[in-house]
């Protein structure tokens, strides 16, 4: 598979993942928690860098920056997903209490305080309200990011 084909696969996979997330939100009625929103941002960043790689990577040398940025996006999104999975597997007595919504925190808190609060987690982030094949959405998203990281790394380190 060529460099551009890998970028195309990543781009289309990100579009499908975001479409599925929007379907779950608007058709099924699952409201995303703050960590879910940050995972969506990771998918969007991965999609944008993959799209740019697809459009502008005519050679391996031109592909490397886009592959590196795609890999970093997948790493970041995967880290958020892993943290989210950790929260979902906490014992009930250790789950943080529910906090304000992300919109409210963005409007009223300094950026660093908002990030700290989001990554501390909240009760809503620990709820598993939808599964597929026994896996929660953050677990599925983590698998998505792992696959995307493998493809981005392949483009980054390939020789031909």
**Structure confidence at residue 99 (pLDDT):** 64
**Structure confidence at residue 87 (pLDDT):** 86
Q: What is the DSSP letter of 92?
A: G
**Structure confidence at residue 17 (pLDDT):** 97
For the chain, give the percent of residues with pLDDT over 70: 91
**Structure confidence at residue 75 (pLDDT):** 98
Q: What is the pTM of this model?
A: 0.84
**Structure confidence at residue 159 (pLDDT):** 84
Q: How far apart are CA 67 and CA 60, in angstroms?
A: 10
CATH 1.20.1550.10 assigned to 3-157: yes
**Structure confidence at residue 126 (pLDDT):** 77
Q: How far apart are CA 48 and CA 158, in angstroms?
A: 21
Which alpha helices (H) appear in 102-136, and where do they start and end? 102-108, 111-120, 123-126
**Structure confidence at residue 100 (pLDDT):** 66
**Structure confidence at residue 137 (pLDDT):** 95
Q: How far is CA 91 from the centre of its chain?
A: 24
Task: Show pLDDT as tens, one digit a residue, over the chain (160 residues).
Answer: 889 999 999 999 999 999 999 999 999 999 888 889 899 999 999 999 999 999 998 888 899 999 999 999 999 999 999 999 998 888 877 776 666 667 777 888 888 887 777 666 666 777 888 899 999 999 999 999 999 999 999 999 998 7
Q: Are the beta carbons of 68 and 62 closer than 8 angstroms?
A: no
Question: Residue ranges per domain, the chain?
Answer: 3-157
119-129 residue pLDDT tens: 666 667 778 88
Q: How far is CA 90 from CA 76, 87, 93, 118, 138, in A?
A: 22, 5, 8, 16, 14
**Structure confidence at residue 97 (pLDDT):** 64
């Amino acid at each position: 598979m060529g460099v551009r084909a890998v970028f195309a696969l990543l781009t289309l996979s990100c579009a499908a993942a975001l479409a599925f997330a929007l379907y779950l939100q608007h058709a099924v009625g699952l409201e995303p928690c703050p960590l879910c929103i940050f995972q969506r941002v990771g998918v969007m960043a991965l999609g944008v860098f993959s799209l740019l790689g697809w459009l502008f990577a005519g050679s391996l040398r031109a592909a490397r920056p886009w592959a590196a940025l795609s890999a970093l996006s997948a790493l970041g999104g995967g880290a958020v997903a892993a943290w989210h999975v950790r929260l979902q597997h906490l014992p009930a007595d250790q789950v943080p209490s529910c906090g304000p919504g992300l919109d409210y925190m963005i409007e009223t808190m300094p950026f660093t305080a908002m990030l700290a609060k989001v990554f501390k987690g909240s009760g809503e982030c620990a709820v598993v309200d939808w599964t597929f094949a026994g896996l929660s959405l953050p677990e599925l998203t983590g698998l998505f990011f792992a696959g995307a990281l493998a493809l981005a790394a392949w483009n980054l380190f390939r020789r031909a």
